[in-house]
Each structure stands twice: as C-alpha cells, then as structure tokens.
Structure 1
Amino acid sequence: MANLYNGKMAAIYDAMYQTFIDYEKEFNFYNNLIQGYQCKTVLEIGSGTGNLSQRFLATNTTYFGLDYSESMLAIAQEQNKKGIFLHGDMRDFKLEQPVDTILITGRSTSYLITNEDLHNTFQSIYKNLNKEGILIFDFIDANRFIPFTKDNSAILHEAPFEDLIYYRSSNWRTTTSETFLLEWSAQYYTFQNNKKEIIADDFSTVRVFTLNEIQLFLYLNKFEIIQTIDRKTYAFDTFVIIARKK
C-alpha cells in the first residue's frame, strides 16, 4: 500500500475535501445505517483527518478511528482531543476489543490493489467484529468509472477554502493488469493574482471493482450481504455494501 497523504499532502487533503464532501450529509448517511442495525461501537477505517470522527464523537456511539497515514491522524487528533485514533493497516490490525460495526469510508478500498489485499482486509475485519457484526463500506464501480476515465482522461476539481482556491488536475490511465487498476497522477495548485503556484504532485495506483467481485470476496470470507446501495458521491459512482459476519 502506498504511503498515502503524508507530510503536507495531509493538510492539502483536509482543506480541499471540506468543499468536495458534505461531511454532515456523509455522517447522517452512515449514522442512520449504524443506528438501523442497533450498533453501539464503531471503528472507522480511513478516518483521515477526522471530519466524520467529530460527528460520531458527539453521539452516544463509542467510536475509534484507524488510518494508514500518521500525518492525517495527527490532524485528526488535534481536531478531536478526546478521540481515540489508531495507526494501522486495514489488511492486518487487531483491536483490544471487537466492535459492532466497522466502516471503510472515502472509497479507501481503492488502495487494496491485489486480491490478497482484499482477502486480508476482510479477514482482519471479520476477526475484529462482534458476533453478527456489521461491515459497511463503499467502492468505486468499475463498470461506470473506467468508461468515464476513457472519455475524461484529465479532470479538474476546484475547491475554495478559507482565503484560497485549490485546484487538482487529475489524469487517469487504465493498466492491462488482471485486476481493474488505474494509474492516477494529480497536480495540486493554487491560483492567485493571475499566478499559478504548484503545491504538490501525487501519484497512486488504485483499483476499482465490479459488484460481482465484491460479492464473491465477501462470500469467501464468511460475510452475508444484507443491503446494497447504488450511491452517487463526489466524483465517483459507488456502491455501498452492508454485510453481516456469519
């Protein structure tokens, strides 16, 4: 897994995604699902800089955040003094006590680029869930996203935040690997007084999935799908899966 969003990239991510994502709406979506299944303890994988964390911590839910980026966790902890945040890898982690629900948010499944990554993640989640615990996660739909990138190889996103306007220029290239991998390069910059200032360049290899792939991996890892939601989110067509540990 790449060394995601470390150093100054963590702060850039935090600033830009305030515009990209309506975190209040995002929280209500996930919280309604969690409450609907009467879950009291929650681990969020991909908790990032803590924008959903602060909302969960304001409820009666016992919340933990886990992320691969220490820089993003540092921001999350600074913004949520009472939060419990864990540095870890979703493919291999162990909680002190199992929880009722595990969320993987922000399309973080995209960074599980091999079948082994996906298998190990579901195995780790299975071990850290209570009996009949609930797994909720989203993923980018390959059947819609790959044609989109073919027609839109370069994508520009604009994000006004505080006194700056941030831009991200993204380029996508589909690989010829056995799984649906894309090479994503992005340039981050601001534009002020008719002057463009480059603030970061980023490159990642990411994976998108078909619904059938996900269904099969969950079955092989002893999860029962209880709900599938076709959800349009920022920039991507996604599916949200709710599955129960068998």
Structure 2
Amino acid sequence: MANLYDGKMAAIYDAMYQTFVDYDEEYAFYNKLIQENKASSILEIGSGTGNLAKRFDQNNQNYQGLDYSDDMIAIARQRNSNCSFTQGDMRDFKLENPVDAILITGRSTSYLITNNDMNRTFDSLHKNLNDDGVIIFDFIDANRFIPFTKENPIITHEAKYENVNYIRESHWDTNNSLENFMLEWTAQYYTLVDGKKEIIENDFSTVRVFTLNEIQLFLYLNNFDIIKTIDRKTYAYDTFVIVAKKRK
C-alpha cells in the first residue's frame, strides 16, 4: 500500500483537498446511495482526514472510518471527536460488528495494484458486511485516463486554503512494462509566495487504473452483484462509481 499521505503530506493533502473537493456535495452523493439501499451502519475506507466523517456525524449516522495512514487518522480524530477511526488495511481487516454499507472513497482503489490485492479486498468487504449489505466505491477509468496522461505529460492543480496558495504538478508515467494498467505517479508540491513557487515536498507512488470490465469481473468472482454503475467526473479524473450487493 502507498505511504503517499504519511508525515507532513497528510496536512498538505488535507489543505489542498479542501479546495479540490466539495465535501458537502460528496456527502450528498454517497448518502443518497446509502439511503437508497436502506443502510444504517457505514464504514468508510480511505476516510483520510475525516471530511466526510464530519458530515455523517452531523447527521447522527452510525459511521466509522478506516485508513492506512496514522497521520491522516490523527487529523481525523482531532476534527471528529465523536467518530471512531481505525488504522487498517482494506485487504485484511475485521470489524467488531458487520455493517450495512462499506464505502471506498477518494479513488483509494488505485492503490490495489495487483489482482491479489483486489481479491483480498473484496473478500474482506464481503466478510464485514451484513447479509444484503452493499459496497460503494469509485475507480479511475483506464480507457479515458491513460490517453489523457499521454496528451498531458504534466497535470497542474492549484488550491487555496487559509490564505496559502498551493500548486501540485503531477506526472503520470504510463510505462508499458508495468502490468495491470499501472502508472508511476510523481508529484511536486509547492506554495506560491510573491508569485514564485517554493517546493514543499516531492512524492512518488505506483497506482493502478481499471477498465469497467475488469471491475465487473472482480465483483462477480468475489460474490457481489452490481446494482448500479454511475459515470462520474471528479475534480481531476473520469471515474465510475459502483454500487454492488453482497451475494450470499
């Protein structure tokens, strides 16, 4: 799994994504799917710094979060004292009690870079769901994203939070020697001071993007039935959101 958001990167991530993502809209989107499936208990995987947790808590929902990064969880706990957060790996976790819905948010599926990672994750989800429970997750669409990275070798995103201007310059190496539509992502993070960029961090991660057919097959083989597929554009990526029900 990636260490992309450990250390001071957790705080940088938190600051930049306050601008990148409209968390009120994000909460409304996921909560609508949760309510459609009559789910009362919710686990969010990739809960990060707790921005969605805050919305679930404000609406008195039975929510808990799981994230791989201790540093992200530390921020989330500080922000959401009423919520439960656990450090854990989506490929192998066990809840005290199963839940009605499991979300994997923020395109966290990108860090499942092997087929074994995928199968282990869906097996863990299946084991931690109530009967007729649902999973809701997004993934980056390989058919659109890979051509986009070929045509745009450097992808720049800017954000302003608490009067600080941030810039992220991303480069996605579509190395054909890598399997499973994996990409090598390098990023430089800057603050903009008096019109000049000042480097604050360099980062690197290997990530994976998927075709819709791949995801459909993974779900079928791991005892899930797809009940909804949503084509959704996010701030930087063309994604699909999948809602799938646990098969007994």
Aligned to 1:236: 237
Q: Does residue 1:99 correspond to 2:99, yes or no?
A: yes
Is the contact between residue 155 and residue 170 of structure 2 (CA under 8 Å) also seen in structure 1?
Answer: yes
Aligned to 2:6: 6
Structure 1: tracts of 5 or more residues without a match: none
User: What is the CA deviation profile of residues 148-205 of structure 1, one whole-angstrom value per residue up to 9, with x for unaligned ones?
Assistant: 0000010111001111100001111012223100000000011112332111100000
Q: How does 1:17-56 map to 2 (within 5 A)?
A: 17-56=17-56
Q: Judge which range, 147-156 or 171-180, deviates more.
A: 171-180
Aligned to 1:194: 195
Match of 1:47, SS state, is coil
- C-alpha distance in 2, partners of 1:172/1:241? 25
Letter in 1 for 2:80: N
- C-alpha distance in 2, partners of 1:144/1:70? 33
How big is the shift at 1:61? 1.8
How big is the shift at 1:134? 0.4
| Alignment RMSD (CA, Å) | 0.7
Aligned to 1:212: 213
Is the contact between residue 4 and residue 68 of structure 1 (CA under 8 Å) also seen in structure 2?
Answer: no
How big is the shift at 1:221? 0.2
Q: Judge which range, 11-20 or 57-66, deviates more.
A: 57-66
Letter in 1 for 2:233: K
Count the aligned residue pairs: 246
- C-alpha distance in 2, partners of 1:228/1:154? 30
Aligned to 2:168: 168
Letter in 1 for 2:244: A
Structure 2: tracts of 5 or more residues without a match: none
How big is the shift at 1:2? 2.0
- C-alpha distance in 1, partners of 2:125/2:58? 25
State the TM-score, normalizing by the size of structure 2.
Answer: 0.98
State the TM-score, normalizing by the size of structure 1.
Answer: 0.99
Q: Judge which range, 165-174 or 57-66, deviates more.
A: 57-66
Aligned to 1:145: 145
